[in-house]
Structure 1
Amino acid sequence: MLVLGVDPGTATTGYGVVRATRPGDATLVECGVIRTKARDPLASRLKEIHDGVTELIARHKPQVLSVEAVFYAKNGRTTVVLGPARGVILLAGEQSGLHIHEIPPAEIKKAVAGTGAATKEQVQFMLTRLLRLKSVPTPSDAADGVAAALAYCMGAHLARLASAGAALPRATRNTLIGGRGR
């Protein structure tokens, strides 16, 4: 499975392409950022983001687009400004027929670092461990895109385990999750 993870932004949109071949085995294919110029009109910047994501989809042919969901931010203006960027990213995925997954930042942190309260540094450290990287993906927006992709891969793995577990006899399921086997 190939996943394109995106961290939306109007100035800098981070992305990461992660290939998951089997549970617990993911590799980083590419990461980077799509930068726009602050002096350009918003419509031009949004087109540039849309075109950049569309080009990534055409080049890598992922099955999934995993986008960091922003419901609110400390600064209300940030939330308002990110909405259009998220919109054109989601549009690019929809136009390409991808499965689209929106994932809140706390869920990304929990999937990658084990806790939804993880710091940016803790998430980046875990990216290097889980993807066997020599260094943290840079800039940090790219690392956030990689984390969004990896979080989807890890969540998909857990969903497969859960659905496989649902087919097991109750005693076996309870034993596997640490319960009693009755």
Structure 2
Amino acid sequence: MIKIIGLDPGMSKTGWAIIRLEEKNNIKFLGGGTISTDGKLGVGERLHIIFEQLKKVIFLYSPNEAAVEKIFINKNPKSSLTLGYARAIAILILRMTDLPMNEYDANYIKKSITGNGHADKGQIIFMVKQIVKSSNIKCHHTADALATAICHAYTKNFCFMGIGS
């Protein structure tokens, strides 16, 4: 049984989602959430919160693989740099827990989930709810992380080869 953690890293909010591939073309949403950090805290403290919370999620769900949304270059260089810090922490904890990891561009994730590489947040939320047959996904950070995990399953052809069963 394959479990995948999808991550949508961010300094203020890091989305995470866990899926399990149960049988051919059946993806079960096991859990998801958003790790929030207070902007009043220092960078080191915020990164430590992200690290510790992701570590708890990984140990709770024991995923086999990981998928992380790649960084996009923002118009504001400081925002891009800050996002890079959060991604680095996410990648570090995945490496420390020996999880195989793949990275995906946001447009690739959107296209694999909705068929449109420029889909908006509402379309992503709608489609991931349809795919995992759950209405418990309310936050777009969680939905983005879930989309990343589903994209990984599709890209690796897990859903089409019956590997999840």
- Normalised to the residue count of structure 1, the TM-score between the two structures is 0.82
Deviations 1:106-163 (A, max 9, x none): 111011111212121111111111111135x1221111111111111111117976xx
Q: Which residue of 2 aligns with 1:148?
A: 148
Q: Which residue of 2 aligns with 1:76?
A: 77
Identical pairs, percent: 26
Count the aligned residue pairs: 160
CA distance in 2, matches of 1:116, 1:23: 25
Instruction: Confirm or deny: 8 A CA contact 1:24 1:154 kept in the other structure.
Output: no
CA distance in 2, matches of 1:120, 1:42: 27
Residue 21 of structure 1: how far off its partner (Å): 2.3
In structure 2, stretches of 5+ residues that fail to align are: none
Structure with the greater relative contact order (CA < 8 A, sep ≥ 6): 1 or 2? 2
Q: Secondary structure at the match of 1:20?
A: strand
Instruction: Confirm or deny: 8 A CA contact 2:25 2:159 kept in the other structure.
Output: no
- Normalised to the residue count of structure 2, the TM-score between the two structures is 0.90
Q: Which residue of 2 aligns with 1:48?
A: 49
CA distance in 2, matches of 1:160, 1:94: 27
Once the two structures are overlaid, the 10-residue window that deviates more, 68-77 or 124-133, is 68-77
Q: Which residue of 2 aligns with 1:25?
A: 26
The structure with the larger Rg is: 1
Residue 49 of structure 1: how far off its partner (Å): 0.4
CA-atom RMSD, angstroms? 1.7
Q: Which residue of 1 aligns with 2:138?
A: 138
